[in-house]
Structure 1
Amino acid sequence: MNNIFDSHGHYTESAFDADRKELLESLPEKGVRNIVTVAASLEDCPKILQMVSEYDYIYGALGVHPEAADYTPEDFIQKLEEYIKSSEKIKALGEIGLDYHYENYSKDKQICLFKRQLELAKKLDMPVIIHSRNAAADTMEILREYKPKGVVHCFSGSEETAKEVISLGMYISFTGVLTFKNAKKACKALEEVPLDRLMLETDCPYMAPEPFRGQRCDSSMIDKIALKAGEIKGKTAQEMLDITCENALKFFGIKSEENLKFEASH
């Protein structure tokens, strides 16, 4: 397998601390063309900026995850904007959104955090990476209001929600969840996503696909997701990788000349 574009990973997570350098240096040899490594907090931002400066094939997305709403300072937007503007390799604002899964979250704080970042993305004319967990109704209400250029990542919603996301002009990205035995809902949603609005991701180190479920995930495992997606869409795994790579390059605004060094060496 080659032409792998992992549109969403978290390579600053502590799960990679023991062997991060060795792993990231090995991935291009395993067919990984590009990765977008994604922030969850302001603290992640400088780490990602450092990473994208060290690896030609890695790009970044900077933003504040809803779970960080309680400890994000009021003046975070200015700092986030500074981080984003400091590197041309930051290609999206994310991940941002709503997460009502855990107890004791502040709905109002999450919504405020989400909207302020959508406003920044509009100001900067950047795409956004949307996180939505147990919060589909509120997420869709806000997306209808702001109509951002964006992708709903790690999609696990209904067919109806998928159709509405697509109708707003957005993309949808799927993880290893597609390969799980209880993933009928995600698989049905994938049936509704046009090939030109589809991306694949690992969300590593989480969401490892079968047969690696429960292990640390990395971008080389995306071929298992492509295989399952191909079964649903009537394509080979390599065809799915080629299609979703092209979609991701377009979505993130990565021009082919930015990949010349990669192509010349592989």
Structure 2
Amino acid sequence: MYQGIYNGSKKHEPDLTHVLKRSWKSGLEKIIITGGSLKESKEAIELAKTDDRLYATVGCHPTRCNEFEQEENTPENYLQSLKTLIAENEHKVVALGECGLDYDRLHFCEKETQKKYFELQLKLNEELNLPLFLHCRNAASDLYDILSNYKFKGVVHSFDGNLEEAKKFIDLGYFIGLNGCSLKTQENLDTVKNLPIEKLMIETDCPWCEVRPTHPGYKFILEENKKFPSVKKEKWQPDHMVKSRNEPTNIRQVLDIISALKQEPSDSLSEKIFQNTMDVFFKK
């Protein structure tokens, strides 16, 4: 989407430079680019190399786990390629992932295949000891059971489960990552309200997971954090955001909503959450 391509159709010129410019102007100091496959992880690292403030994760998303066995791959070769990519780019790779389980989209990859190659990546991490960037959709019980066998740190990102599920991951030592997809319903807001700040992180997962006007938390976003005007992709302008395409700068909207739910000033809340993130991903 940041290349101007939507569903295979080019709508405007590449504009990642403009997206990043808005991000830095908004006060972001670092951005982690998520790798969801071997190919994507390589691309994430190459992008990260263009700016000292950009970092990447390396891993295989649960819906892509068939790639371990596709074409000329063997599971061992695919895993070794992930390991080599990490070893050759230690200064840019801050986590293993995005990996985990997704039972909402089994049409992409069946449950047993997901579990098999999630475990294989965790076995690799016994050697690497990187933080984990975890994906969980309608699979909290199985994800918890598997993670219980290991002693890693990391974050269950884009969390949209209930309070009981969150507490179980927290008890294992994991953080809970919140974005627009974590704040879609009143039930989501009630859950977030009861999560401990010392175990929270915030994110955008852009270009996905925007906070939409129809979401119950939208009313808590400060007007100054809706400041960038947006246009339809067909009417793209360099100084405008694209409607329905999320950007890193919108992380401030997630903060606003959590600040309102917690009844804590956004400045002090952001400092705590920023430190959580630094402690997990950037503590050498």
Q: 1:110, CA displacement in angstroms?
A: 0.5
Distance 1:91 1:98, change over 3 A: same
- Paired positions, count: 244
TM-score by length of 2: 0.79
Pick one of 61, 65, 68 that aligns with 2:64. Answer: 68
Is 2:153 the partner of 1:149? Answer: yes
Tell me which residue corresponds to 2:93. 90
Tell me which residue corresponds to 2:223. none
Task: Determine the C-alpha separation between the residues in 2 that align with 1:103 and 1:164.
Answer: 24
Distance 1:11 1:152, change over 3 A: farther
Distance 1:94 1:138, change over 3 A: same
Is contact 1:223-1:237 (8 Å) kept? Answer: no
Q: 1:58, CA displacement in angstroms?
A: 1.1
Task: Determine the C-alpha separation between the residues in 2 that align with 1:85 and 1:11.
Answer: 28
Q: 1:17, CA displacement in angstroms?
A: 7.3
Tell me the SS of whatever aligns to 1:208: coil
Distance 1:28 1:135, change over 3 A: same
Report the structure number with the largest CA radius of gyration.
Answer: 2
Distance 1:212 1:42, change over 3 A: farther
Code of the residue aligned with 2:94 in structure 1: it is: K
Code of the residue aligned with 1:250 in structure 2: it is: D
Larger RCO of the pair (alpha carbons < 8 Å, separation 6+): 1
Tell me which residue corresponds to 1:77. 79
Task: Determine the C-alpha separation between the residues in 1 that align with 2:195 and 2:183.
Answer: 17
Cα RMSD after superposing both structures: 2.3
TM-score by length of 1: 0.84
Q: 1:254, CA displacement in angstroms?
A: 4.5
Q: 1:21, CA displacement in angstroms?
A: 2.4
Is contact 1:128-1:150 (8 Å) kept? Answer: yes
Pick one of 107, 124, 127 that aligns with 2:128. Answer: 124
Q: 1:100, CA displacement in angstroms?
A: 1.2
Distance 1:100 1:58, change over 3 A: same
Tell me the SS of whatever aligns to 2:30: strand
Distance 1:168 1:47, change over 3 A: same
Distance 1:161 1:127, change over 3 A: same
Task: Determine the C-alpha separation between the residues in 2 that align with 1:91 and 1:103.
Answer: 28
C-alpha deviations, 1:16-55, integer Å up to 9, x for none?
Answer: 9721123223321121111111111111122111111111
Is 2:113 the partner of 1:109? Answer: yes
Deviates most, 101-110 or 125-134: 101-110
Pick one of 138, 144, 158 that aligns with 1:140. Answer: 144
Pick one of 16, 22, 29 that aligns with 1:26. Answer: 22
Distance 1:224 1:212, change over 3 A: farther
Identity %: 30
Structure 1 residue runs without a partner (length 5+): 1-9, 256-266
Is contact 2:129-2:152 (8 Å) kept? Answer: no
Task: Determine the C-alpha separation between the residues in 1 that align with 2:124 and 2:111.
Answer: 20
Is contact 1:52-1:89 (8 Å) kept? Answer: yes
Q: 1:205, CA displacement in angstroms?
A: 0.3
C-alpha deviations, 1:82-129, integer Å up to 9, x for none?
Answer: 111112120100100011112433211100110011111221111101
Tell me the SS of whatever aligns to 1:229: helix
Distance 1:34 1:252, change over 3 A: same
Tell me the SS of whatever aligns to 1:145: coil
Tell me which residue corresponds to 1:36. 32
Q: 1:70, CA displacement in angstroms?
A: 1.6
Code of the residue aligned with 2:17 in structure 1: it is: K
Tell me which residue corresponds to 1:258. none
